[in-house]
A = this chain, B = another copy of it.
Amino acid sequence: MIVLFTDFGLEGPYTGQVKAVFYQAAPGVPIVELFADAPAGQPKPAAYLLAAYGLWFPPGTVLFAVIDPGVGSKRGALIVEAEGRWYVGPDNGLFELVIRRAASARTWDILWRPEELSASFHGRDLFAPVAAQVARGELPSHMPREATIGRRTDWPDDLAEIVYIDRYGNAMTGLRAALLPASGRLTVCGRVLKRARTFSDVPPGDAFWYENSNGLAEIALNGGRAVEALGLVIGSAVATDC
Of A101-109, A143-151, A178-186, A209-217, the one touching chain B: A209-217
In the complex, chain B residues whose CB is within 8 Å of the CB of A168: 40
**A42 to B: closest C-beta gap in Å:** 12
Closest to A22 in B: B30
Please encode chain A, from 1 to 43, with 1 for each CB lying within 8 Å of some chain B CB and 0 for all others.
Answer: 1011000111111111101100110010010111111001000
Report how far A74 CA is from B197 CA in the complex, Å.
14
Q: What is the predominant secondary structure among interface residues of chain A facing chain B? A: loop
In the complex, chain B residues whose CB is within 8 Å of the CB of A13: 34-35, 53, 166, 214
Report how far A23 CA is from B33 CA in the complex, Å.
12
Binding site for B on A (CB under 8 A): 1, 3-4, 8-17, 19-20, 23-24, 27, 30, 32-37, 40, 53, 56-58, 69-73, 118-121, 124-125, 164, 166-168, 197-201, 210-214
